[in-house]
Chain A
Amino acid sequence: MELPSLTDFFARWRAKPPVPFSVLFKKFKSILERNNAILGLIGDMGDKLGGDYIFDRQYILESCERLGDQVFKLVSDLSLLCQRKNVGLFTAFERISYQIREELAGRRVLSRTDHLLPLCDLTHDLVDEGGNKMANVGDIRNILGFTVPEGFVITAGAYFDAMERAGLRKRASEVCAKFESGDLSGLAEAAGQMQKDILAMPLPKGLAKAVKQAARRLTSEGGQLLAVRSSAWGEDGESSFAGMYESVLGVSPDQILTAYREVLASLFCEQALRYRAQRGLVLEEPAMAVGVMRMVDATVSGGLYTYVPLVEHDQPMVVSAAWGLGKPIVEGTAETDTFFIGREPPHALLSSEIGVKATRLVLGAAGGTRTEDVPATAADSPCLSGDQLTLLAKTAMSLERFFKRPLDVEWAFTPQGELVILQARPLSIKPKTCTPGLDVAEATKDVPVIISGKGVPAMGGVSSGPVHIVGEGADLSDFPYGAILVTHHSSPRFARIMPKCRGIITEMGSATGHMATIARELRVPTLVGVSDAAKILHEGQEITLDADHIVVYEGVVEALCRYELGKEDVFEESWEYRTLKRVLKHISPLTLLDPDADSFSPEKCETFHDIARYVHQRAVDKLISLSEEHQEIKESAPHKLVTKLPLGLTVIDVEGGLASGASNEIREEDVRCRPLRALLEGMNASGMWETCAVAVDMGSFMSSVTRTMTASQSHPTNLGRNLAVISEEYLNLHLRLGYHFTVVDAYLGESVNDNAVLFRFMGGVTDFTRRSRRAGLIAAILEQYDFVVKINGDMVTGRAKKHPEEAMLDKMFMLGGLIGYTRQLDARLGSDDAGRHHFEEFVQRINALRALREATT
């Protein structure tokens, strides 16, 4: 049966082009190569964040330059191939390059222009907007899941905006630059003047209004009080500026703007400018975000140091606590109870000193705070119970593991008995036993080593805890708190238990995979590719994982864990790490997802990756139309694949994808393209075409294809046929089967880092519920095979990257089965249970076939 559009296609074939095809074809090839090189570079840069590499400032600068150069050439190549100027694409390139240059110059590019950021949206990803202190609070709430006071942040962007409009921003950076260059003359005067000007500065009307409104809402129309806290760039982070900046407590909503200005002004206090000059923070201009949080009505509150260098208690943590609000405790004006607790579970109470807490600060009924007498019986009894101390200790240790250093935690218990974390900042105290560093080697010398030198660190660091082994497809909901996850595959589905686990060891997986990225995000020490880990380690076994040195020790090696805390610098807080992470924001995410969407345009390119994706797609489109127009080039002429599968597939061989001398009609044996071969194998082996519950004979199938074709003829890239553009290692497949549209884009090259499979599934005429069930089913199947999956309406996109070739081919095989299986799925997805059933059925069947395939190849 002939497809109707094929006639058009032959008609257009006769037109003679002006530029020789061979020239254009070379361009196309160089685009594919450059595209791969760019993706490789982007991947390499991402790898460096893993903690396994030593890289420096020079590396960041050089990589950005090299990448920019490649992307520019890629855009130029496309212009040549399409013989168009591509002004839009060059503009996008310039825009992104500018943002990267700004990041490198220390002028951070803020991704959010809304000046108020609710705490529930804030994590350290938005540290530039929220400042370090509030980003910490955001992490505590949103990543670690502890309770913090309700609140919002007035962003660093708001600060810049206000300063700019008041004409102060330029002066601010000049003032800082002068002192940072070492000229400290007139520092006090300049500091005084800056502060005076900021205190008197008018705020942009929109901002002032928004802040007042938000403050009123937060205090339930003025009934409660607010804490207004500094959250400057660098504060409580890589540099401490501890205690230099202002925080204003007990603020009523009408005073909010005054308090806001006070906090902003403190950015230029003499002490901070001097500190800045000493540290030589020349790379960044100063900025102040401000946190506004509801004051917590506390029964008891206080502070906690997760680490105190007290030898007599084996270096415990210490809690100071008193009745009422925490202000007098933090200020050191109140009598308190002091508790020393062990750092390790069960966090035993080592000793306590109970003070006479005669008065307490409480919230007044009509706003404000007041000091009142404590009833005599309560005054000299401990203000925390054993359970409360244990909860505090556990929580504090979770925070410490995440922030990777000893912390000073401010906390409160509410009248309802809930623990609220007010803030957590790094302690400048270093564990004593770790300097000078030699002891640590001594301490690990006699500890039995269980695993050494096996695997690759995906995230560095040290942690200890009991082993918990998770089998394939096992339920994750009962993962024990504080355990070390040991598993066969690395998989993004472990993301949701990561906040609970102290470390990860996988037998398979890559350090650059999606799971590794999440582990880095949550700072969970992770080793991947540790063969037989699940056999060597056993359930419940206490181990210490040192991912930096690729060693697993028997038991808890306290000295090693302590050494880790005592490191002078946390890698994640170094300039190099932060800068690389920031430039990567403009480089690595892919936001252009759907080539058929209107948003697939140069204007919407937000990153270099987007540009590369856009160019790649346009180049492939162009090649298809070129090969149709140029009949003189035999080897790139379209071939028709003759197969018993109802594919109607036209194949364009870019290079080496077919056996040499292939004629216009090819058979499956002629296919040399590895990903396509595996895909076809999966389609054939699964037999899922024949076993559809809804029987479809060839004739009706093709007529449904024809119907769809007619509807889609307007689309230039899909001229009524199913198309595969192939080379030996590359497959770009656009497949319309029935009412489903599938895209497979696979590259399996020499280097494992370049390996990538994208699978996209769309469309289908059925009701919304069935469509979303189908999307859910496909997503679940893809996730089962370690694809990173995104669902957008009824479009499912799955990506798998950087697996070794065999694993990739196995995935292609699975996809072949999946394409067949899903073809007529809608009709069968009558209930949610059916979705679950089909998931199990598919996985069971395809796994059997995969095993068979593995055994025979």
Chain B
Amino acid sequence: MTDEPNSPNGPDAQATAAEKGGPGKARTSILVLDDEAIVCKRLKPFFQKAGYEAEAYSNPAEALARVQQRRFDVVITDLKMEGLDGLAFLGKVKALYPDTDVIVITGFATLETSRESFRKGVFDFVAKPFKLAEILDVVRRVEKERGLTRE
């Protein structure tokens, strides 16, 4: 499924666990960015309950500041937002952490922007509105491909 061009498997799993510093606590970390607060409000508890370490931001600048502080395994971002465009955000994330997988969610799903974002190494593309199960599936695929699966 993925068009991810640079996806080295294997070593990342350890790197991730080490980075989080919790031995045996290899919880996949997720950052959600969407300027529609409702998306954050619903995705964050959903992922937390599913056993993920999840943070959610509706302000692109705050999200950017946060990714500069630490690495996330998965970044889920909207494409079209006030202030900072999602493409720019994911570009910065990929520049900082090439092995972070980015999932794009957007209500303005046009083929053109979708193609462009795939060129920047997006893991997958989910059109809004989407089902909770759909986004969870995509995250699980990331985990599988990255060897992040717990148990």
Contacts and interface: CB of A to CB of B under 8 A. Distances in A.
Given A438-B48, A568-B41, A55 B53 contact: no
A432 to B, nearest CB: 15
Q: Point out which of B48, B50, B129, B130 has the most chain A C-beta atoms below 10 A from its C-beta.
A: B129
A57 B133 contact: no
Contact of A54 (B49, B51, B128): B128
Given A58-B107, A567-B45, A574-B41, A53 B129 contact: yes
Interface string A34-60: 000000000000001000111111110
A438 B130 CA distance: 24
Contacts of B133: 52, 550
Contacts of B51: 441, 444-445
A55 B48 contact: no
A56 B27 CA distance: 28
Nearest to A58: B107
Interface in A54-69: 54-59, 62
B136 to A, nearest CB: 8
A563 interface: yes
B52 A56 contact: no
Contacts of B135: 54
A571 interface: yes
Interface residues of A, number: 30
A20 interface: no
Contacts of A575: 38
Contacts of A576: 38
Given A52-B133, A549-B49, A59 B41 contact: no
A51 B48 CA distance: 17
Contacts of B43: 54
A589 interface: no
A55 B39 CA distance: 7
A548 interface: yes
Contacts of A567: 45
A55 B50 contact: no
B36 interface: yes
A569 interface: yes
Nearest to B45: A567
A437 B45 contact: yes
Contacts of A56: 34, 36, 38-39, 107, 128-129
A726 interface: no
A602 to B, nearest CB: 32
A548 B135 CA distance: 13
Interface string A290-332: 0000000000000000000000000000000000000000000
Nearest to B46: A548
Interface string B17-59: 0000000000100000010101101111110111111100000
Q: Point out which of A48, A56, A445, A568 has the most chain B C-beta atoms below 10 A from its C-beta.
A: A56
Contacts of A62: 107
A560 B39 CA distance: 21
A440 interface: yes
B107 A59 contact: yes
A427 to B, nearest CB: 18
B131 A437 contact: no
A441 B131 contact: no
Interface of A: 48, 52-59, 62, 436-438, 440-441, 444-445, 546, 548-550, 560, 563, 567-569, 571, 574-576
